[in-house]
Chains A and B, each alone.
Chain A
Amino acid sequence: MNRELGRKSYWIVAVYLLLLALIIPWYWPADEARILFGFPIWILASLGALFLTSCFTAWLCFRNKGSAD
């Protein structure tokens, strides 16, 4: 693995870890049960982070469409 590719991968891993930290609802109060648009608010936050993960994944796929990286 060359150094440039390594740096590129670390950046991607860091973004995914950040998104993972947003997906798991650890940052809400333990008894959080407020409802918004029919869903508990922590569900909407988790789904929002998931949607960002989908967009980031799709962007990574299209960024270098023909490359093996």
Chain B
Amino acid sequence: MTSVLPFGPGAWLFFTFYLSTLLLLGWLGRKARKEDSMQDFYLAGRGFGFFVLFLTLYATQYSGNTVFGVTGATYRIGFPWLIAVHYMLAIVVFFQVFAFKLQPLAQQRGYVTPVDYIRDRFGSRILATIASIVMIVALSNYLLAQLMTMGRALQGLAGPAGDIAYNYGVVGLALIMVVYGTLGGLRAIAWTDVIQGCVLFVGFMVLMLLMLYQFGPISAATEVIAQTSEPEKIIRPDASMQREWLSYILLVGIGGALYPQAIQRIYSAKSIGTLKQSFATMAFMPFFSVLIAFIVGIYALAYVPGLEGADADQAMSSILRIIQEQSILGYALVVLIFSAVLAALMSTADSAMLSISSMFIKDIYAVHFRPSATESELTKMGKRCSWIIVGALTMLAIILKEQTSLIGLLDRKFDLLVQIAPAFMVGIRWMGLRTGPVLIGLVVGLAIALSLAFGPFDFIVEGKVWGFHPGIYGLVVNLSIAVFGSLWLAKQGGADNTTSFIATSNK
């Protein structure tokens, strides 16, 4: 954002009140804790009913990218960027492959982190450690991106003092987030998500109404685009773009379902019924959020021409500025929408922070360095770990302020995350899946995805090969090795170290 949204004291008072409420909920979450255990701190005692579970899933899944990224990409690409609405639903579809089987298993066997399932199911420390590292790296990148967007959001408000505001924005919002997150754990974060989810939902609805009021119907905007923009922004995607659609649906659908913070919300559901009810509602949320961000991009394309390259990401702010300048009511509603932007950023970032700290402490520290540590010690270490992670990533966000291209290169989280899919999505449904082939498949899949993503190959166009992301090629090979390797081993009659899991989980 540039200096397009200058807010007055009233707006700052509102933001201060909103952020103070988050701190208060952190403190209340701490008061509500039932025991000093990892299960209570990281999974809120596995007691989430529909209302909290749905809103925490919603607030966590829809991030700053939903607001700024989708609007900016729609501005650049036009109507073919409708794919953003599709891939958000694909996440809910892919959840169904494993979530309803994983939830009762997690209750029964006391899983806290996603890797607890992998360790239990496949009985391999090496596989579990590689899976932890993949998830921690992918999620750290995600958290860093959210912190940088928080800085940019504040930078946009400050005008000439933007650079300093960026630093204060990153440090201030990260500090608030780490305080309420470490005070009350997932309970506090989910309670703040309830507020943030509501603000986000109301913000999107208000935005849609304001756009209709300010600019008129979408038909007028489409007509303007048809007359002035390039025709490819209206006509249906060509064959290459259609392959990209398929790639995005698979990559984001599978990768998004395997976000560690999402899996931990599956663990924290009170029952399968609650989980199914939440996912059934989530299946309609793309129409009330990302579709609106897409429509904002269309309005911006029609009425705010001339944003080239990276400036297209300012499409949302430009639309908000026009609305804000029209009336006092418009100004007040833009303040609400900006709060929704903060809500989207913070609710995603806090969940990522808690998830990274839980995996680092339980899957790396407790397994490799302190196997004898008590639950209480690990929880305490987890809180310290959150401070260290957020401190380190905050410094990185400040150092890399201008390095957007570097962040772009690092943004391969889904290419990495999808490589864990065979272990979760096949492993939970097919007990014939063996440890060795899954491990080899994971390593080969990661190697293919990373070398295609970062290697100096001429056939890679905009980070994709023939329209498909590197992670998809890695996943195809990975899955083939895991499945055919397991079938081959079964034919050979080799020993299977997953037998104990099958025996006990079928009880």
Which chain A residues have a beta carbon within 8 Å of chain B's beta carbons? 1, 9, 16, 20, 23-26, 28-33, 35, 37-40, 42-43, 46-47, 50-51, 53-55, 57-58, 60-62, 65-69
CB-defined contacts of B179 to chain A, threshold 8 Å: none
In the complex, the answer to whether A61 meets B284 with C-beta atoms within 8 Å is no
Please give the number of chain B residues whose Cβ is less than 8 angstroms from any Cβ of chain A in the complex: 47
In the complex, the answer to whether A33 meets B242 with C-beta atoms within 8 Å is no
Alpha-carbon gap, A24 to B86, bound state (A): 10
In the complex, the answer to whether B86 meets A50 with C-beta atoms within 8 Å is yes
* A25-B242 in contact given A57-B283, A68-B101 (Cβ < 8 Å): yes
Nearest Cβ on chain B to A59's Cβ, whole angstroms:
8
Nearest Cβ on chain B to A49's Cβ, whole angstroms:
9
Interface of B is mostly: helix
Q: Which of A47, A50, A55, A61 contacts B277 (CB 8 A)?
A: A61
CB-defined contacts of B272 to chain A, threshold 8 Å: 65-68
CB-defined contacts of A25 to chain B, threshold 8 Å: 236-237, 242
In the complex, the answer to whether A33 meets B277 with C-beta atoms within 8 Å is no
Beyond the given A39-B79, A53-B93, please list 11 additional residue pairs across the A-B interface where CB-CB is below 8 A. Answer: A23-B86, A25-B237, A32-B236, A33-B231, A33-B235, A50-B86, A50-B89, A53-B283, A57-B89, A62-B276, A68-B100
Segment at the A interface, from B119-127, B197-205, B215-223, B389-397: B215-223
Closest 3 CB pairs of A and B: A38-B219, A38-B218, A61-B280
Residues of B253-278 at the interface with A, using a CB-CB cut-off of 8 Å, are 271-273, 276-277
* A31-B235 in contact given A38-B217, A57-B89 (Cβ < 8 Å): yes
Q: Which of B101, B226, B245 contacts A24 (CB 8 A)?
A: B245
Alpha-carbon gap, A43 to B221, bound state (A): 15
In the complex, the answer to whether B222 meets A57 with C-beta atoms within 8 Å is no
Determine whether B190 belongs to the interface, using a CB cutoff of 8 Å to chain A.
no
In the complex, the answer to whether B430 meets A40 with C-beta atoms within 8 Å is no
Q: Which of B103, B249, B284 contacts A20 (CB 8 A)?
A: B249
CB-defined contacts of B279 to chain A, threshold 8 Å: 57, 61
Contact with A along B269-300 (1 / 0, CB 8 A): 00111001101110110110001000000000
In the complex, the answer to whether B276 meets A54 with C-beta atoms within 8 Å is no
In the complex, the answer to whether B89 meets A33 with C-beta atoms within 8 Å is no
Q: Which of B79, B235, B238, B283 contacts A58 (CB 8 A)?
A: B283
In the complex, the answer to whether A60 meets B96 with C-beta atoms within 8 Å is yes
Alpha-carbon gap, A62 to B284, bound state (A): 14
Nearest Cβ on chain A to B90's Cβ, whole angstroms:
9
In the complex, the answer to whether A57 meets B86 with C-beta atoms within 8 Å is no
Nearest Cβ on chain A to B252's Cβ, whole angstroms:
14
A-B contact pairs, 16 of them (CB 8 A): A1-B429, A20-B249, A25-B236, A25-B242, A33-B236, A38-B222, A47-B82, A53-B89, A54-B89, A57-B92, A57-B283, A58-B280, A61-B279, A62-B276, A65-B277, A68-B272
